[in-house]
Structure 1
Amino acid sequence: MKKIIVPTDFSEYAEYALEVAASIAKKEKAQILLFHMIGVSRAFFTENKYQEYAEAVYYMKLARKKFDELLARSYMKGIETECVVQNYKAFSELNDVAKEKEADLIVMGSHGAGKILSMFVGSNTEKVVRHSDLPVLVVKDRIKNFEMNGVVFACDFEQESIHAYRRAMKFFAPFKSKVHLLHVNLPGESFRDTSQIEEKVRGFLLNAEGSEKRMGAVNYWNDYTTEQGIYTFSGRVNADLIAVLTHGRKGLAHFFMGSLAEDMANRSGWPVITFKMD
Structure 2
Amino acid sequence: MMNKILVPIDFSEHSEFALRVAAAIAKKNDSELVALHMLGISDEGLTRMETQELQEAILNLKFSDAKFTDFLDRVYLNGVKIQNVVQRNKDFFEIDSIANKYEAGLIVMGSHGSKGLNEVLVGSNTEKVVRTSTLPVLVIKSPVVNFKFKKVVFVCDFKEDYTEPFRNAWNFFKPFKSKFKMLYINLPENFLNNQEMEEKAMEFIKRAGVEEFNFYKDMVFYNDYNLENGIYRYANKFNADVVAVPTRGRRGIAHFFSSNKGESLVNHSNIPIITFKK
TM-score (norm: length of structure 1):
0.90
The CA deviation at 1:70 is: 2.6
Deviations 1:171-214 (A, max 9, x none): 111211101110000002x2111101100110111121254852
Bigger mean CA offset, 175-184 vs 259-268: 259-268
User: Given that residues 126 and 257 in structure 1 are in contact (C-alpha distance below 8 angstroms), is that contact kept between their aligned partners in structure 2?
Assistant: no
Deviations 1:36-86 (A, max 9, x none): 111135466336743212211221112211221133201111111111111
User: Given that residues 109 and 116 in structure 1 are in contact (C-alpha distance below 8 angstroms), is that contact kept between their aligned partners in structure 2?
Assistant: no
Give the secondary structure class of the aligned counterpart of 1:162.
helix
User: Given that residues 122 and 257 in structure 1 are in contact (C-alpha distance below 8 angstroms), is that contact kept between their aligned partners in structure 2?
Assistant: no
Q: Name the residue aligned to 1:186.
A: 187
Q: Name the residue aligned to 2:22.
A: 21
Alignment CA distance shift 1:20-1:251 (3 Å): closer
User: Given that residues 108 and 137 in structure 1 are in contact (C-alpha distance below 8 angstroms), is that contact kept between their aligned partners in structure 2?
Assistant: yes
User: Given that residues 26 and 80 in structure 2 are in contact (C-alpha distance below 8 angstroms), is that contact kept between their aligned partners in structure 1?
Assistant: yes
Deviations 1:5-49 (A, max 9, x none): 111111111111011000001111111111111113546633674
User: Given that residues 154 and 182 in structure 1 are in contact (C-alpha distance below 8 angstroms), is that contact kept between their aligned partners in structure 2?
Assistant: yes
The CA deviation at 1:161 is: 1.0
User: Given that residues 37 and 89 in structure 1 are in contact (C-alpha distance below 8 angstroms), is that contact kept between their aligned partners in structure 2?
Assistant: yes
Q: Is 2:123 aligned against 1:135?
A: no
RMSD of aligned alpha carbons: 2.4
User: Given that residues 206 and 212 in structure 1 are in contact (C-alpha distance below 8 angstroms), is that contact kept between their aligned partners in structure 2?
Assistant: no
The CA deviation at 1:151 is: 1.1
Q: Name the residue aligned to 1:153.
A: 154
Q: Which amino acid aligns with 2:40?
A: G
Q: Which amino acid aligns with 2:178?
A: S
Alignment CA distance shift 1:124-1:141 (3 Å): closer
User: Given that residues 114 and 124 in structure 2 are in contact (C-alpha distance below 8 angstroms), is that contact kept between their aligned partners in structure 1?
Assistant: no
Gapped runs of 5+ residues in structure 2?
Answer: none
Q: Name the residue aligned to 2:228.
A: 227
Q: Which amino acid aligns with 2:168?
A: R
Give the secondary structure class of the aligned counterpart of 2:6.
strand
Deviations 1:102-157 (A, max 9, x none): 1100111011x555872145654332111100000000111131111111111112
The CA deviation at 1:90 is: 2.6
Q: Give me the whole-angstrom Cα distance separating, in 2, the residues matched to 1:257 and 1:59.
A: 43
Bigger mean CA offset, 43-52 vs 145-154: 43-52
Q: Give me the whole-angstrom Cα distance separating, in 2, the residues matched to 1:65 and 1:252.
A: 37
User: Given that residues 115 and 266 in structure 1 are in contact (C-alpha distance below 8 angstroms), is that contact kept between their aligned partners in structure 2?
Assistant: no
Q: Name the residue aligned to 2:67.
A: 66
Q: Name the residue aligned to 2:83.
A: 82
Gapped runs of 5+ residues in structure 1?
Answer: none
Give the secondary structure class of the aligned counterpart of 2:188.
coil
Q: Name the residue aligned to 1:98.
A: 99
User: Given that residues 126 and 255 in structure 1 are in contact (C-alpha distance below 8 angstroms), is that contact kept between their aligned partners in structure 2?
Assistant: no
TM-score (norm: length of structure 2):
0.90
User: Given that residues 242 and 272 in structure 1 are in contact (C-alpha distance below 8 angstroms), is that contact kept between their aligned partners in structure 2?
Assistant: yes
Q: Give me the whole-angstrom Cα distance separating, in 2, the residues matched to 1:55 and 1:255.
A: 48
User: Given that residues 158 and 200 in structure 2 are in contact (C-alpha distance below 8 angstroms), is that contact kept between their aligned partners in structure 1?
Assistant: yes
Alignment of 1:1-278 (within 5 A): 1-40=2-41, 42=43, 45-46=46-47, 49-111=50-112, 113=113, 115=115, 118-121=119-122, 124-188=125-189, 190-209=190-209, 211=211, 213-216=213-216, 217-252=218-253, 259-277=260-278
User: Given that residues 126 and 253 in structure 1 are in contact (C-alpha distance below 8 angstroms), is that contact kept between their aligned partners in structure 2?
Assistant: no
Bigger mean CA offset, 222-231 vs 89-98: 89-98
